[in-house]
Amino acid sequence: MGLFLTTAVKPTIAGTVVENIANTGTFTVGTPMNAVPYSYINANKELDGFSIDIVKLIHKQLEKELGRKIELNFVEVNSIQETIPKIISGEIDIACNFAFTWERDKYVDYTLRYTMSGIRLLVPKGKSTTSFAGKKIGIPSQTFVKDALKLTNPDATLVEFANIEEGGKALKEGKIDALAGDTIILDGLRQQLNPDGFEQFPPLSENPYARYGVGCIVPQNNSTFLNIANYSIARMMEGYLVKDSEMTNLVNKWIGPEGVVYIVSPEIIQNFFQNTIDNHEQIPFSAK
């Protein structure tokens, strides 16, 4: 129970998320600044990424629903244990890049997932092995990655890092033998560290240690705001499926053969989007 709420957090009671956004004129997003390709500072010193584009779609839908201009504000957060208290207290309205867990679901609500990923290891190229017994594997602090690694690599030594940056530095310096994490983020990190010097394990042709969807978290019991967020994500998926140029370019810019991270095939993206739409409702794309 104390995993996230290590200090007392007083939930906001001023109103719902949508009411507060309408009253303040501000939509506040919690995000890391170095998680390629989800959210990071690009070469032009601008906050960019797949998740940033997702929240911009939500922001646009909020303005439409409220009939007014809303300021989009970003607050840096770098871990789940830092993010959830800020969601509960009302300091931020939404945060993305998160996989669902039942423990987290006790404190926040989840949007639709907007991409698929999984858990793998980043290792020095040519040093993949079928066994990591006795090896040091870096893991994100206080996440479900630890549980997956304990099951798949019970004889490895797990070393916790506060964030992916710290883990990547330790891997590059040889202080750990592998770094565990989100497949998509690990590929972004590989490109930052040394594109030719690292690879993922299990290989991308094989199943990861665990598979999951990546979505956003919002304060509990805010159905109006959650519906706006979900509609925005579903509409993006529908646009991709019907080959709308704006939504297709949005997705292809980040993941897929032409994206910043090109390890996700168009077939996987299309099947995931189609399954999500099939479980909700098809959106006539002429509807703005």
Same domain, 85 and 125: no
Same domain, 74 and 198: no
97 and 154 inside one domain: no
Looking at residue 255, what DSSP letter applies?
B
- 207 and 125 share a domain? yes
Pairing relation of β-strands 178-182 and 47-48?
A: unpaired
Closest alpha carbon to 54 in 104, 111, 126: 111
Tokens of 282: 């098809």
Do 50 and 158 reside in the same domain of the chain?
no
Please check whether residues 143 and 204 belong to one and the same domain: yes
Same domain, 100 and 156: no
83 and 123 in a single domain? The answer is no
pLDDT at 80: 87
**Distance from the first to the final alpha carbon of the chain:** 42
**Tens digits of pLDDT across the chain (288 residues):** 344 443 344 444 457 999 999 999 999 999 999 999 999 999 999 999 999 999 999 999 999 999 999 999 999 998 888 999 999 999 999 999 999 989 899 999 999 999 999 999 999 998 767 789 999 999 988 678 888 899 999 999 999 998 888 999 999 999 999 999 999 999 999 999 999 999 999 988 889 999 999 999 999 999 999 999 999 999 999 999 999 999 999 999 999 888 999 888 889 899 999 999 999 888 887 655
Same domain, 247 and 224: yes
Asked if 28 and 107 sit in the same domain, the reply is: yes
Q: CATH number of the domain at 178, please.
A: 3.40.190.10
Which one of 178, 211, 244 terminates a domain? 211
From 165, 190, 211, give the residue that closes a domain: 211
Are residue 140 and residue 192 in the same domain, yes or no?
A: yes
* 254 part of a folded domain: yes
User: Cα(95)–Cα(91) distance, rounded to whole angstroms?
Assistant: 11
User: What pLDDT is recorded for position 11?
Assistant: 42
* Per-residue model confidence (pLDDT) at position 18: 96
Q: Residue 2 has what pLDDT?
A: 40
Number of domains in the chain: 2
Q: Is residue 93 situated within a structural domain? A: yes
Residues 203 and 217 in one domain: no
The model carries a pTM of 0.88
Range of the domain at 201: 118-211
What's the pLDDT score for residue 9?
43
Please give the pLDDT value at position 14. Answer: 53
244 close to 285: Cβ distance less than 8 angstroms: yes
The residues near 163 (Cβ < 8 Å, ≥ 6 apart) are 32, 34, 78, 79, 140, 141
